[in-house]
Amino acid sequence: FTPSRGAVARSSIAITTQQSTPLTQLNQYASATAGAINLADEYAQRDVYSMEEFATQYGLQKAPGVELYSDDGSDYQLITQQPIGAGQTCLYVPSDVVISSEKAYQEFGNEIQQAEQVLVQIDQGTAARLPLFRLMVKILAEYDQGENSAFFPWLNSLPRVYYNGVSMTNDCFSCLPPYAGWLASTEKANYDSFVTALRQGYVQLQSVNDDTVTQWAYNVALTRFQEVWSPQRAKLIAPMADMLNHSAEPNCEITFDDMGNCEVTAMYDIQPGTPLTISYGDPTNPTPIFAQFGFLPADCATLFCKAMHLEPYIKELGIEFKDLLIQTESGEIAPKVWDLFLYEILVNNDPGAAEQYYVAVKCNDEATKQQYQDQYFQYTLDSMKQHVYSILSDVDTMNAKAQNYDLSTHPRVPVIVAHNNLVRDTFTMTAALLEQMG
Ligand SMILES: C[S@@+](CC[C@H](N)C(=O)[O-])C[C@H]1O[C@@H](n2cnc3c(N)ncnc32)[C@H](O)[C@@H]1O
């Protein structure tokens, strides 16, 4: 039985309330706990327990049994050792410790406004990403303060190494199929624009010319933010809640109240020993998660059909990427992929028929669509086979190339190969299904 969210009564958190510590004392706490953050050593120990203590000083509350857990001492997540009921609060993070793009915008005032004007001039596409830019500025400013930052214990709890698109090189991009390569390199281009804007010097940041630090700050913001749309659009990072891992079938959700306090709530009954998870993005398509977060979700039921060469037709027909999927368990192809491949054939061979097919797709006129699909079935099938075999061949070539790289200089190879293997395994099943069709 899975209760609907609306039907679940929210119980208040079953935890003893703690007094939060005034900010002045927290600064003392920060300087007492640790040395400077060492980004040069990728394998430096993350101090997640001091982060938890720091957040608790401010008033962090956890449901009984919720704790930090790591298999390997480098990647952490939250799990529960005791049952948690649907609707119960697992974690409460007070707004005092929440980093917010809006608070950063207020804090850096005129300086950040000028930097943002430059940023949008450099790349208009970044206008939608200003909340991310503000988070990055705040993280850099806190990093500059070292152990004098009130956020030092949080900064010192963060991973040093990242595997996402921003961390990749041109060698990495050349080992990825077009869709993944495009998403990953877009992330990197966005980072480059942020850094170029920051290096104009409008915001006073000591570490802005250090690539290691700027890339780390961007990656922290990119991989740990939550987005809210009320009272205005903002990106927020809540220490401790930023330790929740992703699942395609999450058991928790994160909300923020109007004061910016963060609450992690169980969506279902959660058994002891279970990781607490949220969804990082569209569970039908692992590739954007791969590009943004640098891991391949293991539980994705579908992936994008990879027909990037048909992007103009995807746009023309108004099809969304999430409708152009292939089942990872069976290789089965979504109906809109057939629409897309047929449309390209018609555009190139029979413009009159293409127009009629276009109208039929737009109006969901299934009878007319079926008529064209029957008439052109062999051509569509051939075109689909050609696409699937070319992806299979590309992926093999790319994996062979990736595996030739030295892991010490190309640590992203394993995740790239894992991505390509998922594509290969899925498309191999698709090829077999297409062969059965004729
Ligand atoms: C918001 S943080 C979550 C906490 C993180 N595991 C840590 O140790 O700091 C996001 C990062 O966690 C890792 N991650 C989250 N969910 C994952 C999953 N399902 N499989 C593998 N790695 C995951 C990825 O490195 C991702 O960039």
Digit-coded pLDDT (tens) for 99-131: 999 999 999 999 999 999 999 999 999 999 999
- Dist. CA 224 → ligand 1 center (Å): 9
Mutation test of ligand 1: which of 42, 43, 77 has the most ligand atoms closer than 8 Å to its C-beta? 77
* Ligand 1 atom, smallest distance to 75 CA: 8
- Dist. CA 73 → ligand 1 center (Å): 13
Q: Is 32 helix (H, G, I), strand (E, B) or coil?
A: helix
- Closest residue by CA, ligand 1 atom 24: 293
Stretches where the chain sits below pLDDT 50 are 1-35
- Closest residue by CA, ligand 1 atom 1: 224
Domains, the chain, in order of start with CATH, read 1-281 (3.90.1410.10), 301-437 (no CATH)
pLDDT for 37 equals 87
Alpha helices in 87-210 (DSSP H): 101-122, 130-144, 152-155, 170-173, 178-198
List pocket residues of ligand 1, CB cut-off 6 Å.
75-77, 159, 223-224, 242-243, 245-246, 293-295, 297
Separation CA 376–CA 383 (nearest Å)? 11
pTM of the model: 0.86
pLDDT for 429 equals 98
- Dist. CA 370 → ligand 1 center (Å): 44
pLDDT for 36 equals 78
- The pair of structure tokens assigned to 343 is 């449309």
pLDDT for 6 equals 28
pLDDT for 235 equals 98
* Residue 321, C-beta contacts closer than 8 angstroms, at least 6 positions apart: 285, 304, 314
Rounded (10°) angle between helices 335-349 and 377-404: 110
Within 10 angstroms of residue 403's Cβ, the number of other Cβ atoms is 14
Q: What is the DSSP string of 356-375?
A: HHHHHHHTT-HHHHHHHHHH
Instruction: Give per-residue pLDDT as tens, 293-346.
Output: 999 987 888 999 999 999 999 999 999 988 999 999 999 999 999 999 999 999
Cα dihedral 52, 57, 58, 61 sign: positive
| Percent of the chain whose pLDDT exceeds 90 | 81
pLDDT for 20 equals 46
- Decide the pairing of beta strands 245-246 and 277-278: parallel
Mutation test of ligand 1: which of 69, 71, 187, 246 has the most ligand atoms closer than 8 Å to its C-beta? 246
Rounded (10°) angle between helices 286-293 and 413-437: 170
Cα distances (Å, whole numbers) of residue 68 to 53, 75, 210, 274, 283: 12, 10, 31, 12, 25
- Dist. CA 189 → ligand 1 center (Å): 23
* Ligand 1 atom, smallest distance to 159 CA: 9
